[in-house]
Amino acid sequence: MTRIGFIGLGNMGGRIARRLVDAGHPVLGYDPAAGAAERAGATPAASVAEVARESDQILLSLPDSRAVEAVVLGPDGVLAHAGPGQIVVDLSTAAPDSTRRIAAALAARDAAYLDAGVSGGAAAAERGTLTLMVGGEEHALERVRPTLAPFAAKVFPMGPSGAGHSAKLLNNFLNAVSLAATSEVMVAARKAGLDLRTLLDVLNSSSGANWATANRFPHIVEGDYLEGGLTSALMTKDVVLYVDHLRGLGVPALNAAGPLASFGLAANLGYANQISNRVVDAIGD
Amino acid sequence: MTRIGFIGLGNMGGRIARRLVDAGHPVLGYDPAAGAAERAGATPAASVAEVARESDQILLSLPDSRAVEAVVLGPDGVLAHAGPGQIVVDLSTAAPDSTRRIAAALAARDAAYLDAGVSGGAAAAERGTLTLMVGGEEHALERVRPTLAPFAAKVFPMGPSGAGHSAKLLNNFLNAVSLAATSEVMVAARKAGLDLRTLLDVLNSSSGANWATANRFPHIVEGDYLEGGLTSALMTKDVVLYVDHLRGLGVPALNAAGPLASFGLAANLGYANQISNRVVDAIGD
Amino acid sequence: MTRIGFIGLGNMGGRIARRLVDAGHPVLGYDPAAGAAERAGATPAASVAEVARESDQILLSLPDSRAVEAVVLGPDGVLAHAGPGQIVVDLSTAAPDSTRRIAAALAARDAAYLDAGVSGGAAAAERGTLTLMVGGEEHALERVRPTLAPFAAKVFPMGPSGAGHSAKLLNNFLNAVSLAATSEVMVAARKAGLDLRTLLDVLNSSSGANWATANRFPHIVEGDYLEGGLTSALMTKDVVLYVDHLRGLGVPALNAAGPLASFGLAANLGYANQISNRVVDAIGD
Amino acid sequence: MTRIGFIGLGNMGGRIARRLVDAGHPVLGYDPAAGAAERAGATPAASVAEVARESDQILLSLPDSRAVEAVVLGPDGVLAHAGPGQIVVDLSTAAPDSTRRIAAALAARDAAYLDAGVSGGAAAAERGTLTLMVGGEEHALERVRPTLAPFAAKVFPMGPSGAGHSAKLLNNFLNAVSLAATSEVMVAARKAGLDLRTLLDVLNSSSGANWATANRFPHIVEGDYLEGGLTSALMTKDVVLYVDHLRGLGVPALNAAGPLASFGLAANLGYANQISNRVVDAIGD
């Protein structure tokens, strides 16, 4: 039976590990927070090294590339214990450049690294209906599919190593662009005296339609900010990752100004740790 | 019977006038281009003044506010001949500030001015399925509804004078934002080695979805640029109108940089008079 | 003796006209505000038409291209009375496209049109030390030099018609860029705990130096905002003119986002009609 | 006598070490490139650890924070051997957040960390006329002043730990803003038919003046691109560092769009590794 290890049992990781446990997989879990493994129903490990030594497949759910590099490349980390056939699946939102470096280091020890961008949030994790965008070797992906099945409803192979984390950044960037620009438009509409509900009807049946006009603003104009989603601080962080990603690719970042300014302004006005939908108040204050 | 006048019988105006004629309305038409009225099936008028004197309702379909101001406020123009009960419907893409000034001038002569932003393009004009976003007095709108019926499938009252032209600019702006940002994302995706069709599937089922991911890029990745739509030069013009509109409203234009840079670059690289979808080639060249 | 006419006797125009009168030139002045001509020491004219008929050289100092077009191209305006050898000098901040159209219309009547961007402000106008950047025919410029001498210390011929107003927009744009970016940098420096006076010393002896680091912020960090200069509303207006100018030239506006966002934000936060230096408070609030 | 260590003997580091050697300081040098220490006149060390163990003061000149972290925090790095009274001076261009973390780690071992932003380039390094902007404890700065004297003509104490690297980023950002915006303006000026030399005269005597109008473009308009300075790729890298720095400070990055777009475009068009002054060709192509 495949021995599954899990490092990073926070908001997302804890819920995903629980899905695995509930599906009958034994999970060896590690998180620096005391009790996190137990809460997820996993067998607690004493260290990253123990998880690395005792698992065939290791899932990571960490806050950023710095944390992933510490866990994988750091002293007594995953790489130090990696061996042939082992597969690491990184569910973090991370910098594709870093992802590719890590994958190359593991490949040198005949281990595989899959970068899996996650879409769907905590509720979808709980229901097991996440969407994964996966970069890396397809044969490794085929081998981990049974492990992904309990928590991911859709699994898209995106391309080579880094492509999964790249796809995640690209999606989040378009989300940020739509939310920022639509917020500005709604503030302008209110000042121009337009009927906001009618405007949303018009936009949603025309070329101005986007995720924010369709799924956010019909609630926001009723006063419901949909608390619980991505904060402005995290939105800005993802946009900076996107800008650095484009720099690495040699593609000019012509379109990042809007979200950088908008969510930066929201953070500056005290909305940093509130849902990014508050950006409309930041622009309209 | 309502006497309908029509000024500006070009690409859009000619098609709309034809719909009115085919629906049995007598139309008195004026356009500086010889033969334009006849081609639309309208009775040719010798001048703007003749249309203004002889019509109960006057439709305008002109390139910009400069042209609208010349026709309405210029010597021997519509305003000079306007009288009680007359209604002017402006179907142009125009600056809301200018629109409000014109409406006020006509109101002083007891005539009404409705600003109607048009969505749908030439094909919808021909089929009579345009969408209108209308600003101005609702009772005037009620009176012109029979005139609009032959060419507009949906008519949205948006608010006071200027609200129709404002809604049009706001929609076009979001369209421009989505197209520019998605183009950049697709160029980055190609350089990062992502499968572009899979990426579109992911975006369209996630928060990155917008009009361009749903309706443009599934064709563009197959090599079909959907020629015939809005050019990069016109897209830039609309974005500049939007920026000036926000300036007038006192709303900070935080999100205009992306489309300004992207379509400006496309124009600079020789795509000015080609469909704005070519912006992806401009960024990716 | 050269008969000089002056249209627009406000803040700048009134001071310039006064310099001409004090230098012994007879000036026939028109301004819609009662008493403006008398206050400047000019002979009051009853109308634009009277100035146009009775002057060899006509100076304009008006708020924008809309006003210039009304005065020159409007009914009974300057153009209607223009004749061979007459020279119009436009001291307004205006759109170069409009300037070129007006110049062409006057050229058709053998009159000349010089566009003169003005640098220096009210104090320099009073002392007669303005800088002029002039577009249009050099021989016309040579003929008006004696008229310019009493108020302009430097006169730069910039190129063909429109080049003077273009140079003015380009200078103002770089001013706006420097002020906006330096404000952001100073806010960041304060939050990072840097000594602001030392930072200014460093910047001013290095590649970060600009007009704002050299001439604005050494005062601002002492609490002196240099009230009396260009407001944020006017700064935004000039940047929008610049963006529209680049659109007309087919040059991508890649660098307008900063000042558009910064001064737009300042306007939105209540600083619209205060000196643009307040933008640092808008960003840092 | 103070034992000086030097890690990173490349383009800048090698020249600075040579100044120290020529001034009579014994320098123990380490660089992964074979022969680098000898070329600088330093005594070659076998490892980072050897330098750390055998030096009272250690100078670092490394490409980025990733490299600095590897050298200081990595296995057998500077931190592992650091002791009371030891002082590390980091001359790299680095992320202030990373700098502060490193300083805290060293402080826990009673060692000091000074972050010194460097201005002046290779020629100034050779002549010993660099400018340093230093963050960190002033008493540590006082102790290293004799070590800095041979290569730095000016030493500015900027504030607490991170303030030196922050000042460097802020200066480079304003440099990038000026160069990008001025390039756009010069392209527009050429298309508008302006005399470029006269325009530079005007700008340099007015509010549009900046480092690029004063020190770059007078050469560029004569065809001299001043090869040898910062490339577009490095300029973009510094701007991304700036954006991330502002994110950490909670200051909205409203003004980064111009340089991001401009130097990104230059990189995309093949100028990545050429002097950033080529950006004018990228915009004007």
Q: What is the pLDDT of residue D202?
A: 96
C255–D261: do the CB atoms touch at under 8 Å? yes
Could you tell me which chain D residue has the CA closest to the CA of B253? D254
Same domain, B218 and B271: yes
**Which residues of chain B neighbour A194 with C-beta distances below 8 Å?**
158-159, 163, 166-167, 170
Q: Which residues contact B142 (CB under 8 A, 6 or more apart)?
A: none
When pLDDT is averaged across residues B113-135 and rounded to a whole number, the result is 95
Average pLDDT, chain D: 94
Backbone φ, ψ for residue A25 (5° rounding): -85, 135
Q: What is the pLDDT of residue B69?
A: 94
C255–D180: do the CB atoms touch at under 8 Å? yes
Smallest CA-to-CA distance from D261 within D244, D236, D284, D237 is with D236
Name the residue with higher pLDDT: D110 or D285.
Answer: D110
Q: What is the pLDDT of residue A30?
A: 98
Average pLDDT, chain C: 95
Q: Is D210 helix (H, G, I), strand (E, B) or coil?
A: strand
Q: What is the pLDDT of residue A281?
A: 84
Neighbour count for residue A215 (Cβ, 10 Å): 14
A227: tokens are: 């608390």
Smallest CA-to-CA distance from C162 within C110, C116, C204 is with C116
Q: How far is the C-alpha of B166 from the C-alpha of B161, rounded, in Å?
A: 9
Same domain, D262 and D125: no
Q: Which residues contact B95 (CB under 8 A, 6 or more apart)?
A: B64, B65, B165, B241, B244, B245
**Which residues of chain C neighbour D211 with C-beta distances below 8 Å?**
206-210
Chain A residues within 8 angstroms (CB to CB) of chain C: 254, 257, 261, 265, 268-269, 283, 285
Same domain, C192 and C275: yes
Same domain, D36 and D136: yes
B187–A213: do the CB atoms touch at under 8 Å? no
A176: tokens are: 């940020």
* CB B150, CB A183: distance < 8 Å: no
Residue D268 has pLDDT above 90, yes or no: no
Residue C43 has pLDDT above 90, yes or no: yes
Could you tell me which chain B residue has the CA closest to the CA of A193? B159
Which among B257, B265, B268 has the least Cβ separation from residue D257? B257
Q: What is the pLDDT of residue B1?
A: 81
Residue pLDDT, tens place only, C139-172: 999 999 999 999 999 999 999 999 999 999 999 9
Could you tell me which chain A residue has the CA closest to the CA of B264? A254
Same domain, A12 and A141: yes
Neighbour count for residue C34 (Cβ, 10 Å): 9
Residue pLDDT, tens place only, C90-145: 999 999 999 999 999 999 999 999 999 999 888 999 999 999 999 999 999 999 99
When pLDDT is averaged across residues D49-63 and rounded to a whole number, the result is 97
- CA-CA-CA-CA torsion for D277, A243, B194, D231, nearest 10 degrees? 20
Chain D: nearest CA to C273, how far in angstroms? 20
- CA-CA-CA-CA torsion for C201, C207, C212, C213, nearest 10 degrees? -10
Q: Given pLDDT bands bounded at 50, 70 and 90, which one contains residue D36?
A: very high
**Which residues of chain D neighbour C256 with C-beta distances below 8 Å?**
258
* CB D255, CB C258: distance < 8 Å: yes
Same domain, D121 and D186: no
**Which residues of chain B neighbour A191 with C-beta distances below 8 Å?**
249-251
Could you tell me which chain C residue has the CA closest to the CA of B65? C66
Measured CA distances, D71 to C282, D32, D140 (Å):
41, 11, 21
Chain C: nearest CA to D38, how far in angstroms? 32
Same domain, C129 and C212: no
Same domain, B15 and B147: yes
Residue pLDDT, tens place only, A154-189: 999 999 999 999 999 999 999 999 999 999 999 999
Q: Which chains touch D (3 or more CB pairs under 8 A)?
A: A, B, C
- Domains identified in chain D, total number: 2
Residue C44 has pLDDT above 80, yes or no: yes
Q: What is the pLDDT of residue A187?
A: 96
Residue B227 has pLDDT above 80, yes or no: no
Measured CA distances, A160 to A57, A119, D11, D131, D269 (Å):
19, 19, 35, 45, 25
Residue B128, phi-psi category: left (phi > 0), alpha (psi -120 to 50), beta (remainder):
left
Q: Given pLDDT bands bounded at 50, 70 and 90, which one contains residue C279?
A: confident
Domain stops at, among A109, A135, A159:
A159
Q: Which residues contact D90 (CB under 8 A, 6 or more apart)?
A: D60, D62, D68, D99, D102, D113, D114, D115, D116, D165
Could you tell me which chain A residue has the CA closest to the CA of C261? A261
Same domain, C150 and C245: no
Chain C residues within 8 angstroms (CB to CB) of chain A: 254, 257, 261, 265, 268-269, 283, 285
Q: Given pLDDT bands bounded at 50, 70 and 90, which one contains residue B121?
A: confident
The domain that holds B120 is classified in CATH as 3.40.50.720
Residue A228 has pLDDT above 80, yes or no: no
- Find the range with the poorest average confidence among A98-107, A263-272, D45-54: A263-272
Smallest CA-to-CA distance from D181 within C181, A212, B177 is with C181
| Residue of A255, A268, A269, A271 to mutate when probing chain C, most C C-beta within 10 A | A268
D254–C180: do the CB atoms touch at under 8 Å? yes
Chain D residues within 8 angstroms (CB to CB) of chain B: 254, 257, 261, 265, 268-269, 283, 285
Same domain, B68 and B145: yes
Chain A: nearest CA to B194, how far in angstroms? 5
Residue pLDDT, tens place only, C178-219: 999 999 999 999 999 999 999 999 999 999 999 999 999 999
**Which residues of chain B neighbour A180 with C-beta distances below 8 Å?**
254-255
* CB A92, CB A64: distance < 8 Å: yes
Active site residue C191: no
When pLDDT is averaged across residues B179-191 and rounded to a whole number, the result is 96
The domain that holds C180 is classified in CATH as 1.10.1040.10
Average pLDDT, chain B: 94
Which among D254, D261, D268 has the least Cβ separation from residue B261? D261
* CB C259, CB C230: distance < 8 Å: no
A202–B96: do the CB atoms touch at under 8 Å? no
Residue D79 has pLDDT above 70, yes or no: yes
Which among C174, C182, C251 has the least Cβ separation from residue D203? C174
Chain A: nearest CA to D237, how far in angstroms? 7
**Which residues of chain B neighbour A215 with C-beta distances below 8 Å?**
207
Q: Given pLDDT bands bounded at 50, 70 and 90, which one contains residue B127?
A: very high
Same domain, C107 and C248: no
B200: tokens are: 């579109």
Q: What is the pLDDT of residue C268?
A: 86
Residue D90 has pLDDT above 90, yes or no: yes
How far, in whole angstroms, is CA A83 from its chain's centroid? 27
Radius of gyration, alpha carbons of chain D: 20
Give the residue numbers of B annotated as catalytic, written as ranges: 168
Chain C: nearest CA to A140, how far in angstroms? 43
Neighbour count for residue C23 (Cβ, 10 Å): 14
Work out the burial of residue A64: count CB atoms within 10 Å of its CB; fewer than 13 is exposed, 13-18 middle, 19 or more buried: middle
Chain C: nearest CA to A114, how far in angstroms? 37
Domain stops at, among C102, C129, C159:
C159
B194–A131: do the CB atoms touch at under 8 Å? no
Residue B285 has pLDDT above 70, yes or no: no
Domain membership of residue A191 as a residue range: 167-284
Residue pLDDT, tens place only, B263-280: 999 988 888 888 888 888
Q: Which residues pair with D231 in a beta bridge?
A: D275
Size of interface A-D (CB pairs under 8 A): 67
Could you tell me which chain C residue has the CA closest to the CA of B260? C253
D167–C189: do the CB atoms touch at under 8 Å? yes
Chain C: nearest CA to B124, how far in angstroms? 29
Could you tell me which chain D residue has the CA closest to the CA of A282? D252
Chain D residues within 8 angstroms (CB to CB) of chain A: 75, 236-237, 240, 243-244, 246-247, 250-254, 256-257, 260-261, 264-265, 267-268, 272
Residue D128, phi-psi category: left (phi > 0), alpha (psi -120 to 50), beta (remainder):
left
Q: How far is the C-alpha of A202 from the C-alpha of D265, rounded, in Å?
A: 35
Average pLDDT, chain A: 94
**Which residues of chain A neighbour B116 with C-beta distances below 8 Å?**
none
Q: How far is the C-alpha of C218 from the C-alpha of C208, rounded, in Å?
A: 14
Buried b (16+ CB within 10 A) or exposed e, D84-116: eebbbbbbbbbbbbbbbbbbebbeeeebbbbbb
* CB C228, CB C204: distance < 8 Å: no
D207: tokens are: 């509010």
Same domain, C104 and C197: no
Q: Given pLDDT bands bounded at 50, 70 and 90, which one contains residue D285?
A: low
Backbone φ, ψ for residue B275 (5° rounding): -55, 140
DSSP sequence for C112-139? EEEEEEEESHHHHHHHT-EEEEEES-HH
Q: What is the pLDDT of residue A285?
A: 63
Q: What is the pLDDT of residue D75?
A: 85
Chain C: nearest CA to B25, how far in angstroms? 36
Residue D262 has pLDDT above 90, yes or no: yes
A152-159 and D130-135 strand pairing: unpaired
Buried b (16+ CB within 10 A) or exposed e, D195-232: bbebbbbbbbebbbbbbbbbebbbebbeeebeeebbbb
- Please compute, for residue A101, the number of CA atoms within 13 A of its CA located in the half-sphere on the CB side: 12
B257–D254: do the CB atoms touch at under 8 Å? no
**Which residues of chain A neighbour D75 with C-beta distances below 8 Å?**
75
Neighbour count for residue B191 (Cβ, 10 Å): 16
Residue pLDDT, tens place only, C243-259: 999 999 999 999 999 99
D254–B254: do the CB atoms touch at under 8 Å? yes
Residue D100 has pLDDT above 80, yes or no: yes
Q: Given pLDDT bands bounded at 50, 70 and 90, which one contains residue C285?
A: low
With residue D28 as reference, give the H or E element that holds it. strand D27-30
Q: What is the pLDDT of residue C130?
A: 96
DSSP sequence for A92-108? S---HHHHHHHHHHHHT
Q: How far is the C-alpha of A26 from the C-alpha of A21, rounded, in Å?
A: 6
Beta strands in chain C (DSSP E): 4-7, 27-30, 43-44, 57-60, 87-90, 112-119, 130-135, 152-159
Chain B residues within 8 angstroms (CB to CB) of chain C: 75, 236-237, 240, 243-244, 246-247, 250-254, 256-257, 260-261, 264-265, 267-268, 272
When pLDDT is averaged across residues D195-210 and rounded to a whole number, the result is 96
D105: tokens are: 């780690």
How far, in whole angstroms, is CA A30 from its chain's centroid? 20
Residue D227 has pLDDT above 80, yes or no: no
When pLDDT is averaged across residues B37-41 and rounded to a whole number, the result is 97
Q: Which residues pair with C131 in a beta bridge?
A: C119, C154
Smallest CA-to-CA distance from D230 within D178, D190, D160, D189 is with D178
A166–B188: do the CB atoms touch at under 8 Å? yes
Domain stops at, among C114, C139, C159:
C159
